[in-house]
Chains A and B, each alone.
Chain A
Amino acid sequence: MWYRSRKISLVLFALLMLIPFGAVTLAQDVVTIEWWTVSSEEYSEEVQRALVDQFNAEHPNIQVNITVLPESGFTERMTATLGAGSGAPDVAFFWDNNWFPQALDLTAYIEADPDLDPSTYFEGFWNTRSVWQDKIVGLPLGVGANFVMYNKDVFDEMGVAYPSPDWTTEDYIATATTLTDPDKRRWGGDRPRGPFRAIWRNYGAFPYSDDSTTVEGYLNSDASVAAYTWLWDLVASNVTPTPADIEILGTEGTGPIDLFLAGRLAMATLNQGHVLTAVESGVNFGIVPEPQIPGNERYANAWSLTASVWAGTEHPDEAYEWLSYWVGPEGQQFLMQNGHLFPSIPAVLETHPDADKDYVQAFFAVLEQRQVAEWVNAHPCNGTVLRAAVDAWDLVNLGEIGRDDIKATLDSLVEPAQQALDECVARLGA
């Protein structure tokens, strides 16, 4: 803090005058590494501080300096810092793909490191979160995934069998319908919170062609129409909370966990972070993957957070040392035991204290599925195109169009989506 640092600098100045130069050179041997992280349900500020203390004690030549930021502001701060080109941390989360150009390529470091083997990480996450344009831009910390959580008490009360892992999208609507009780304001299930997520993939739908040239025949393909029609049926069945209800209880990132905890939602698409909250609240629940389409390949919306060394660092060796400790087996083990992290290294994850519980096993199974992120990562224009095409989603979600209008609505959105795609491709050269 400046009001202190001024005093401190005066004191330092006085000390410098007194101390012989030898002592100063000795002090320079310790390298300070700036580390930015966030405080979250999985790793609190305290736990991470303890991890740093442990590392600093084991590495007398490196001093890791921790900066804990709120989850909701980390992205803005990193973007501003990386854009300014100076003052970025040596090691930090690089969870936005757009930051990757400023991440240090770790290929040489990892090849030279006998303690870090890429094959020990989940392959899916290594491919989506570490490898980017033939470079290794970081290491994946922790794992997360969406799945359907169901409230066992509600199922028991209504005498309905628990959903099985191979259930279909039609089963989802049927089960939700039986569990809905309007008098109690209780809904059977919730709606997907955006188009072209896992269920769209399960139907085989993509917003545009794999070579990023064409929207026609993709956004409005039969598979896409089928996925939107399923959403339309789900909306029309009145077994889900309305958008108004859902949004009150949490936007995009947080999901309707509070509604689920209050017992007003029998099934909800949530994630492993919400599992922690549910366990804490004593809710009796189970986990199944998102419903499938028989015969189609099955996808999961799963994620891991890339942690990287900034390309502009002055101490790449020491920075890598800390990164590989934090995201390597030691650090992830520490964050799992002292915090609530689900590590991205299967061998470590298997030692999870709750590994024998059914819901944790079900979560592990989801991690083995193909990932929505594969395609999204390879297609940076995904977001831009979806923004142009989100009207179809709104219209179905608000019940503004008939079931037979879906194809025509998607057709009408092909042109603006194509325009957005062309602009984005021209810009990114993708």
Chain B
Amino acid sequence: MLASWRRLSPMARREALEAYLALSPWLLGFTLFTVMPIAVSIFLSFTQWTIIEQPIWIGADNYVRMFTRDPLFWQALKVTGSFVLISLPLKLVLGLALALLLNNRLPGMNFFRTVFYIPAVISGVAVSLMWMWLLQPDTGVVNTLLDAVGVKGPNWFWDKDWALPSVALMSIWKVGGSAIIYLAGLQNIPAQLYEAAEIDGAGKWGRFWRITIPLLTPTIFFQLIIEMIDSFKVFTEAFVITQGGPLKSTYFYMLYFYEEAFRNFNMGYASALALFLTLIILATTIFINYTSKRWVYYESE
């Protein structure tokens, strides 16, 4: 870094100094609220710590156990990976679709935008109870409606093959939150581009694929990273509703982490679990970031 500093022109140095100045609040916060806790966690991952008593150094044993003699770790990894693969594409596509719908300027649109935001607002126990009620196999609204059209609905949360899709369905329902971000992104697409394309005879689909999507790629990139991180860290739904069951079909990684840390007081092992998940997410992010040069289009670069 120092070598490159010397190569900079005085003007570039000034710009860099200004940048560091602007970044300084974040750098300070990062050191206090992230570096310190992470350093502690890295240390703890090499110990056995009951939280209540002093940690005991055990070397890499937590990591050895994770990979060689812990079937639950692999199960949690498999469940979480499947969840990411199921929910991530759906969330990205449906969020965009909803945002495009809400981007229409029609009378009363403010009302609709608010309605679609509701699911993102209600949190915790109320939502969980509501979903159990909606997806109740015999009397729930969803299966009653399916019954009306002659389809026998599944047992949802209470079937080992359907529990994971049920949790995915819950998280997709909250897509109104990410639609807001798409909506903001759509505002940055200059209208004259559409007008020019219209004059050139481009149809709706043509304009969508050739203007909306390319100019929205920075937002799509953002959503991809954020939703990926969120999906890997999925926890609350399983914690409140399924407790990881039935037959560990919703035994998410973070649920395993939580049980190890706060139920079994095995914080050393839990730290190792959490750090490994961070590494997986980091690797995925770096990979996506690497591919982004090919498909993300920045107006300013």
Contacts and interface: CB of A to CB of B under 8 A. Distances in A.
A and B touch in the complex (CB under 8 A): yes
Interface of A: 75-76, 79, 82-83, 98-102, 242-245, 247-248, 251-252, 383-384, 387-388, 390-391, 394-395, 397-398, 400, 416, 419, 423-424, 427
A427 B247 CA distance: 26
11 contacts: A76-B262, A83-B51, A242-B138, A244-B132, A244-B137, A244-B156, A251-B240, A384-B264, A394-B247, A395-B247, A423-B69
Interface string B18-60: 0000000000000000000000000000001011110000000
Interface in B68-82: 69-72
B263 A383 contact: yes
Given A248-B129, A387-B259, A82 B137 contact: no
Contacts of B263: 383
A244 B162 CA distance: 13
B266 A427 contact: yes
B283 to A, nearest CB: 28
B185 interface: no
B264 A79 contact: no
Residue of B133, B159, B245 ringed by the most chain A CB atoms within 10 A:
B245
A383 B71 contact: no
B158 A242 contact: yes
A137 to B, nearest CB: 12
Contact of B132 (A101, A248, A416, A427): A248
Contacts of B241: 247
B14 interface: no
B136 A394 contact: no
Given A76-B262, A395-B247, 12 more contacts: A101-B52, A243-B246, A244-B136, A244-B137, A244-B155, A247-B132, A248-B136, A394-B245, A394-B247, A400-B247, A416-B71, A419-B69
A387 B263 CA distance: 11
Contact of A79 (B51, B65, B69): B51
Interface of B: 48, 50-53, 65, 69-72, 129, 132-133, 136-138, 155-160, 240-241, 243, 245-248, 259, 262-267
Contacts of A242: 137-138, 158
B265 to A, nearest CB: 4
Contacts of B71: 416, 419
A423 B65 contact: yes
Given A247-B132, A248-B136, A391 B248 contact: yes
B53 A244 contact: no
A244 B259 contact: no
Contact of B52 (A76, A82, A243, A387): A82
A394 B246 contact: yes
Contact of B158 (A82, A395, A398): A398
Nearest to A185: B139
Contacts of B69: 419, 423
A387 B71 CA distance: 12
Nearest to B245: A394
A383 B13 CA distance: 60
Nearest to B50: A98
Contacts of B262: 75-76, 79
A201 B212 CA distance: 66
Nearest to A415: B71
B51 A248 contact: no
A101 B129 contact: no
6 nearest interchain CB pairs?
Answer: A83-B51, A98-B265, A248-B132, A244-B158, A394-B246, A101-B52
Nearest to B246: A394
Contact of A245 (B48, B136, B265): B136
Contacts of B50: 98, 101
A99 B136 CA distance: 38
Nearest to B155: A244
Nearest to B263: A383
Nearest to B129: A248
Contacts of A244: 132, 136-138, 155-158
B267 A83 contact: yes
A157 B153 CA distance: 35
A51 to B, nearest CB: 28
Contacts of A395: 247
Residue of A75, A248, A383, A416 ringed by the most chain B CB atoms within 10 A:
A248
A398 B72 CA distance: 21
A86 B51 CA distance: 13
A101 B53 contact: yes
A380 to B, nearest CB: 9
B56 to A, nearest CB: 10
A400 B249 CA distance: 14
Nearest to B258: A76
Contacts of B138: 242, 244-245
B52 A102 contact: yes
B184 to A, nearest CB: 32
Contacts of A390: 245, 248
Nearest to A397: B246
A310 to B, nearest CB: 11
A243 B160 CA distance: 13
Nearest to A424: B264
B143 to A, nearest CB: 10
Contacts of B243: 251-252
B264 A383 contact: yes
B160 to A, nearest CB: 8
A400 B155 CA distance: 13
Given A384-B264, A423-B69, A98 B132 contact: no
Contacts of B265: 79, 98
A75 B159 CA distance: 31
Contacts of A243: 158, 246
Contacts of A245: 136, 138
A248 B133 contact: yes
Residue of A244, A400, A424 ringed by the most chain B CB atoms within 10 A:
A244
